[in-house]
Amino acid sequence: MERDDLKDPMYSTLGHDWGLCIIEFIVGYSNHSNRVIRMFKEFSDLRHIINFKRVIFPISIAFFIYTFGWGTTSPIFSIYVQKVTGNLFLTGIVLSMTTVMGIFLNIPLSILENRMNLKRVLQTVLLIYSALALFYPVANSFLSLLLVSVARGVASSFLWLTSWAYVFTYTEKSVKGKETGFFSDMNDLASALSPIVGGLVAVVSFFLPFYLLSL
């Protein structure tokens, strides 16, 4: 026996709406997939550009490793700082110090960079970053953590300003957007993957992410 409530126009309308939603989802997903495929095709075309292979790709890989390294510490960093300081306010100060230093140093450092060898600055700062990672596990007071974070803030300002200046200097005008997009995407990919890996590594040893970062 046919149910009368299924003849209700409301049920018919709901079914129609659900059908439209499913169709729109399929069409939207298909369009998104096509855009992603086109994006990867455009990026793959960069491999034929000599400047990309010689400069942009190597620096993108270097910064992927750098971003990935610091990202692995993100699941445990605030926990570790809180254990050392024992105070949420002091923890906040330590965590914000890297960005605070950038606020005051970005403009002065950008002026200095115009007189420096960008490649040499990048190499030096990346080495400093590796050393700084080893200081965090032995920083057992608020003051020592603060000093390491201040040093990290100075290095971070140099690193990011120099890296973008380096990328913009060597990108070819015809593909500037693609090359800078590739550099940015590599950093975003590292930022997305590294906390997951860091969380897994920290299960083995709480300080292991810091030692991996130094490598």
Residues 105, 73 within the same domain: yes
CATH number assigned to the domain comprising residue 206: 1.20.1250.20
Q: Which residue in the block uniquely carries the two structure tokens 């950038």?
A: 102
Residues 27, 64 within the same domain: no
pTM reported for the whole predicted model: 0.67
Q: In this structure, how many other beta carbons lie within 10 angstroms of the beta carbon of residue 103?
A: 10
Residues 83, 181 within the same domain: yes
The whole-angstrom separation of Cα 210 and Cα 26 is 44
Instruction: Tell me if 45 is assigned to some domain.
Output: no
What was the pLDDT predicted at 156? 85
* DSSP result, 154-198: HHHHHHHHHHHHHHHHHS-GGGHHHHHHHHHHHHHHHHHHHHHHH
**Over the stretch 18-27, which tens digit does the pLDDT of each residue have?**
555 555 555 5
Per the CB < 8 A criterion, the answer to whether 167 and 58 are in contact is no
Instruction: Tell me if 44 is assigned to some domain.
Output: no
Residues 165, 204 within the same domain: yes
What was the pLDDT predicted at 11? 44
Residues 142, 192 within the same domain: yes
Residues 199, 99 within the same domain: yes
Per the CB < 8 A criterion, the answer to whether 164 and 106 are in contact is no
Residues 32, 112 within the same domain: no
Three-class HEC string of 65-95: HHHHHHHHHHHHHHHHHHHHHCCHHHHHHHH
Residues 161, 58 within the same domain: yes
- In the chain (215 residues long), the average pLDDT of successive 10-residue segments reads 49 50 52 50 58 81 85 86 92 90 82 77 82 84 93 86 84 79 88 87 74 62
Per the CB < 8 A criterion, the answer to whether 52 and 174 are in contact is no
Instruction: Tell me if 138 is assigned to some domain.
Output: yes
Tokens of 92: 């906040």
Residues 19, 112 within the same domain: no
What was the pLDDT predicted at 36? 47
Instruction: Tell me if 43 is assigned to some domain.
Output: no
How many domains would you assign to the chain? 2
Residues 32, 81 within the same domain: no
Residues 54, 135 within the same domain: yes
What was the pLDDT predicted at 42? 55
173 exposure class (CB count in 10 Å sphere: 0-12, 13-18, 19+)? exposed
Boundaries of domain holding 22: 5-38
Residues 29, 115 within the same domain: no
